[in-house]
Amino acid sequence: MFYFLSKVLYALIAPMSVIIILFLLYLLTKIRAYFYWAFGLLLVLSNPYLAMRAMQLYEVPPSVIAKNQKYDAILLPGGFVSNYTIDGEVRVNFSDGNDRMMQAIDLFKRGVSNKIIYSAGADTVFSAYLPEAELGRLFLLKCGIPDSCILVENKAMNTYENAILSQKILAKMDASYLNKKYVLVTAAFHMRRALACYEKAGIHCDSYSTDLRSIRGKDTLLNTIIPSYGGLQNWTLLFKEFLGLAVYKWRGYI
């Protein structure tokens, strides 16, 4: 129920939803203030420069792992893999956020850790996808990572569950897990909430930010003044994280 309500609440307060609601209110009431607010928000939130600067302030900066630094496991929360079927074959479909998987593979190949804990379930409320971690595991195997090095958690539906269910895997794997070192690999804009959840679950880890969105645009005149979908997208992600932090704090998840 919490998962369902969180998705509904987010859909209602997402920037584009608010703008549409304000425009609808104007059409129904003819009160110009609604139109001005809607147009003003659309103008500001679609500005790529402002969105990029806001994202830059919020993202957790990327870090460098020293050549001799080793971790007991790479923690990989999901949220970037789905699937579809074509001619009876189930095919993995990666979303825009799959950079975290590429970086986790890179860390493994560099010898930073010999374990990847991949946590991601299936969205059975709004879709009919297979468990993400199971799909992602197949891709990791294709990339040459041994099955014995991949630990899959396929029940988590959100970041909080990623953390607590990964903690159970770690506790089962090693009773002294609290004294071990882990590296958390996720999107830079998602890192604050994810890190707080894992720390709350007793997993002390270093951050390894991926999928940086604040570096995607160049400070040219056109990118500064011309409205873009990318601006709205960045604000949508930020609003989602702001809401997530507030709700997780209220629920005691962080």
Q: What is the pTM of this model?
A: 0.88
Domain extent, residue 98, equals 73-210
Residue 25 falls inside a structural domain: yes
Confidence of residue 64 (pLDDT cuts 50, 70, 90): very high
43 has a pLDDT exceeding 80: yes
Cα-atom radius of gyration of the chain, to the nearest Å? 20
Residues 143 and 17 in one domain: no
- CA distances to 52, 209, 213 from 220, rounded to whole Å, are 13, 26, 16
Residue 146 falls inside a structural domain: yes
CB 207 within 8 A of CB 184: yes
Kind plus residue range of the DSSP H or E element containing 247: helix 229-251
Residue 201 falls inside a structural domain: yes
E strand residue ranges, the chain: 73-77, 81-86, 89-94, 116-119, 150-153, 182-187, 205-210
**With the CA atoms of 241, 191, 157 and 182 taken in that order, what torsion angle do they form, in degrees rounded to the nearest 10?**
-160
Distance CA 214, CA 130 (A): 32
Residue 67 falls inside a structural domain: no
Residues 143 and 33 in one domain: no
Distance CA 73, CA 85 (A): 32
Residues 170 and 51 in one domain: no
Higher pLDDT, 185 or 7: 185
Q: 164-182, pLDDT tens digit by residue?
A: 999 999 998 888 888 899 9
3-state secondary structure of 205: strand
Count of CA atoms in the C-beta half-sphere (13 A) of 235: 24
Q: 200-211, pLDDT tens digit by residue?
A: 999 999 999 999
Query: Can you give the pLDDT at residue 71?
Result: 96
Lowest mean pLDDT among 9-18, 112-121, 150-159: 9-18
The count of domains in the chain is 2
CB 49 within 8 A of CB 223: yes
Q: What is the percent of the chain with per-residue pLDDT over 90, rounded to a whole number? A: 61
Residue 216 falls inside a structural domain: no
What is the distance between the terminal CA atoms of the chain, rounded to a whole angstrom? 20
Residues 88 and 202 in one domain: yes
Query: Can you give the pLDDT at residue 7?
Result: 65
CB 163 within 8 A of CB 201: yes
Distance CA 18, CA 213 (A): 23
Residue 68 falls inside a structural domain: no
Residues 180 and 201 in one domain: yes
Q: 201-253, pLDDT tens digit by residue?
A: 999 999 999 999 888 766 666 667 777 888 899 999 999 999 899 989 999 99
**Please, which residues bridge with residue 209 across strands?**
186
Residue 66 falls inside a structural domain: no
Residues 103 and 7 in one domain: no
Residue 65 falls inside a structural domain: no
Phi, psi of 22 (to 5 degrees): -65, -40
Residues 90 and 175 in one domain: yes
Query: Can you give the pLDDT at residue 216?
Result: 72
CB 45 within 8 A of CB 232: yes
Residues 126 and 205 in one domain: yes
CATH of the domain at 107: 3.40.50.620
Q: Which of these, 193, 215, 187, lies nearest to 79 by C-alpha position? A: 187
Query: Can you give the pLDDT at residue 127?
Result: 57
Handedness of CA 199, 202, 205, 211 (dihedral sign): negative
Query: Can you give the pLDDT at residue 92?
Result: 80
Residues 206 and 81 in one domain: yes
Distance CA 232, CA 8 (A): 19
Confidence of residue 124 (pLDDT cuts 50, 70, 90): low
Residues 95 and 192 in one domain: yes
